Amino acid sequence: MLTLYHWEPNANSGKPILTLEEKGVEFESRYIDLLNFDQHSPDYLKINPNGTIPAMVHDGRMLYESTAMMEYVDEAFDGPPLRPTDPVERWRMRWWMKFLDQFYSPSASMIGWNAFIGPSVRDRDPEELKRKIDAIPLPERRVVWTKAIYGTFSEAELAESARRVRYGAKLMEEQLTRHAWLAGETFSLADINAMNLVYFMPANPLGAVSAEKTPRTMEWLYKMAERPATRRAWARGKTMTTERLKHLVRPSQQSA
């Protein structure tokens, strides 16, 4: 029995969702509404006391940390392998996973939280929001939520996040100019990880990813969006995030 507790099919939640879809693994989907703070509810804290999403329960065992969950899924279940057999490609896959998790993702997330998450909830009753923030188990997550809700990310923080995202876009373009996929010539977990962070960039005012600036990355995004597993994963979304896949339709296939 496999149950996945998740929010939208992007960022952290999207990583195990897309991995499961690529492997062809059936699972019970439990949608946790991040914008309603469901991840901090008493019922969910019984599943994951950290109050973070996603969380996976497999045969009574709870697993968390989305990137580790991706490797677990690839190893625990039958289906197409998502880690290269070539040692150099596997090293490169893991290099990209670490780069995305530690360098790119926090900055891309800050931009998203500032532009979307915070504005989506900040008009609610102030006392209710205070109660919601106080109920967050992890102190570092309380800080992020507080800054997002009250719009207090500093100009320096946002500028550094923008710099890191642009740098990450440059590295991706260079890699995809040399190879078809991030690990090399083999589709891998690194591509799944990156897809969940980069897919919205063509629609982002930052302009780090575009047909003009990063044509190889755009081609990679088109290929990722066209995969059946991606379409199945994004069909699980319930917010406007799913609309961003419309930016990943090849110009030749767009309606006149």
Tell me if 82 is assigned to some domain. Answer: no
pLDDT in tens, 198-237: 998 998 888 899 999 999 999 999 999 999 999 999 999 9
Last residue of a domain, one of 76, 109, 131: 76
Question: How many beta carbons lie within 10 A of that of residue 127, not counting itself?
Answer: 8
Tally of domains within the chain = 2
Nearest alpha carbon to residue 26 among 7, 1, 54 = 1
149, 99: one domain:
yes
The rounded percent of the chain whose pLDDT value lies above 70 is 99
The rounded percent of the chain whose pLDDT value lies above 90 is 87
The pLDDT score that the predictor gives to residue 255 is 60
Tell me if 244 is assigned to some domain. Answer: yes
221, 98: one domain:
yes
9, 94: one domain:
no
71, 142: one domain:
no
Tell me if 142 is assigned to some domain. Answer: yes
Q: Which residue has the higher pLDDT, 76 or 246?
A: 76
233, 122: one domain:
yes
Q: Which CATH number characterizes residue 172's domain?
A: 1.20.1050.10
The pLDDT score that the predictor gives to residue 143 is 95
Question: Is 120:132 a contact under the CB 8 Å cutoff?
Answer: no
Question: How many beta carbons lie within 10 A of that of residue 172, not counting itself?
Answer: 25
Tell me if 149 is assigned to some domain. Answer: yes
pLDDT in tens, 152-179: 999 999 999 999 999 999 999 999 999 9
96, 71: one domain:
no
Last residue of a domain, one of 30, 47, 76: 76
Mean pLDDT over each residue of the chain, to the nearest integer: 94
97, 215: one domain:
yes
Whose tokens are 């800050």? That residue is: 110
187, 124: one domain:
yes
Give the whole-angstrom CA distance, residue 32 versus residue 53: 8
Give the whole-angstrom CA distance, residue 190 versus residue 83: 9
114, 16: one domain:
no
Structural domain range at position 179:
87-253
- Determine whether 246 is exposed, middle or buried from the number of CB atoms within 10 Å of its CB (0-12, 13-18, 19+): exposed
Interval 128-149 mean pLDDT: 94
Structure tokens at 244: 């961003």
Tell me if 26 is assigned to some domain. Answer: yes
107, 188: one domain:
yes
Tell me if 110 is assigned to some domain. Answer: yes
Tell me if 81 is assigned to some domain. Answer: no
Look at residue 252 and tell me whether its pLDDT is greater than 90. Answer: no
Look at residue 39 and tell me whether its pLDDT is greater than 60. Answer: yes
Look at residue 256 and tell me whether its pLDDT is greater than 50. Answer: no
Last residue of a domain, one of 76, 106, 133: 76
Q: Which CATH number characterizes residue 69's domain?
A: 3.40.30.10
63, 110: one domain:
no
Q: How large is the angle between the packed helices 189-198 and 87-99, nearest 10 degrees?
A: 30
Q: Please state whether the peptide bond connecting residue 228 to the residue before it is cis, i.e. omega within 30 degrees of 0.
A: no
Q: Band of the pLDDT at 76, cuts 50, 70, 90?
A: very high
Tell me if 208 is assigned to some domain. Answer: yes
pLDDT in tens, 93-125: 999 999 999 999 999 999 999 988 999 999 999
The pTM of the full predicted model, rounded to 2 decimals, is 0.94
28, 57: one domain:
yes
Structure tokens at 238: 């319930």
